[in-house]
Chains A and B, each alone.
Chain A
Amino acid sequence: MFTRNGFSFTGLDRVQREMGRVFTNVFDNLERAPERTLPAINMWETDDALLAEAEVPGLTMEQIEVFVMNDELTLKGRRSAPQTENGTFHRRERRAGEFTRVVTLPAPVNADAVEATLRDGVLTIKLPKAAEARARRIEVKGV
């Protein structure tokens, strides 16, 4: 979409790019759409780091992958469908299947220092900001 040179990415463009990517993942396999789950992500920042959190109940560490490249965070996982050989489902609301979610980060991060923890179905990712992105207090001198 944005292939012209010299096109600067403002905040709005970044949102549109991310939207495009989300839709690509969801609508790629429309026939299998009911299988796809898309975890919601909350993101907040401190002066030193970006933090992201996603609720991924039923997933173990082996079923999740987290990638960081340039200014993108990718969450990839697979939730297996519940196995019940001799049972009858009376209600089935919990979604199972693969998901891939790509989020654009609002600040550059130090990809080598990213940490991710999974506890009680909540995935928390800490992305320390790159040195140039940390807020620096500028001293105001009176003249």
Chain B
Amino acid sequence: MNTETNAVSCMKQTAQPTAALYAWTYRPDVDIVEMADEWQLSADVPGASAGDLDVNYERGVLTIHARVSDRQAADTRFVSREYGVGDYFRRFEIGEGFDAAGVRAELATGVLTLHLPKAARAKPRKIAVQAR
């Protein structure tokens, strides 16, 4: 029984409830891909809706916070409970090399996709080497 619980519980990494958010908070799995002109970050946030999602990029720190309320009443008779439902929160230090005004976010089928366009100066620039 223990091994099975471990196999599925590692799917959802939990963080201890913090003082500010008095509820269980979960750390969503992400994929981060660098393309030529932008970075794409995809996060698994099942159960979150667009209205309850906060994405913030400020001073080089990207913060994702989705408020998710319990889907079942507190007196629900659970037969088996393998995962909990709660807010999603994750923070990345990504530096200032992104165009904050151009950040786009999409939410579909429980996956949040962020497009972070590189700032002009962060794009690779070929430097000509002059021989002396």
Which positions in A face B, CB cutoff 8 Å?
15, 19, 22-23, 26, 37-46, 50, 53, 55-60, 82, 84, 86-95, 103, 106, 120-122
Contact = CB atoms under 8 A, between A and B. Distances in A.
Nearest to A93: B29
Nearest to B49: A120
B79 interface: yes
A55 B83 contact: yes
B11 A40 contact: yes
A94 B40 CA distance: 14
A21 B125 CA distance: 55
B76 interface: yes
Contact of B82 (A40, A82, A93): A40
A121 B31 contact: no
Going nearest first, the 4 A-B pairs with the smallest beta carbon separation are: A121-B110, A121-B46, A57-B110, A40-B82
Given A22-B7, A58-B111, A43 B33 contact: no
Contacts of B80: 41-43, 103
Contacts of B8: 38-40
Contact of A92 (B4, B9, B31): B31
Interface of B: 1, 3-4, 7-9, 11-12, 29-36, 39-40, 42, 44-49, 71-72, 76-83, 109-111
B45 A57 contact: yes
Given A40-B83, A87-B35, A88-B34, A57 B46 contact: yes
25 contacts: A19-B4, A23-B3, A23-B4, A37-B11, A40-B83, A41-B80, A42-B81, A43-B79, A44-B77, A45-B77, A58-B44, A82-B33, A87-B33, A87-B35, A87-B40, A90-B39, A91-B31, A91-B32, A93-B30, A94-B31, A120-B46, A120-B49, A121-B47, A121-B109, A122-B71
Given A87-B34, A91-B30, A121-B109, A46 B9 contact: no
Given A15-B1, A57-B44, A44 B31 contact: no
B32 A106 contact: no
A24 to B, nearest CB: 12
A55 B82 CA distance: 11
A84 B31 CA distance: 11
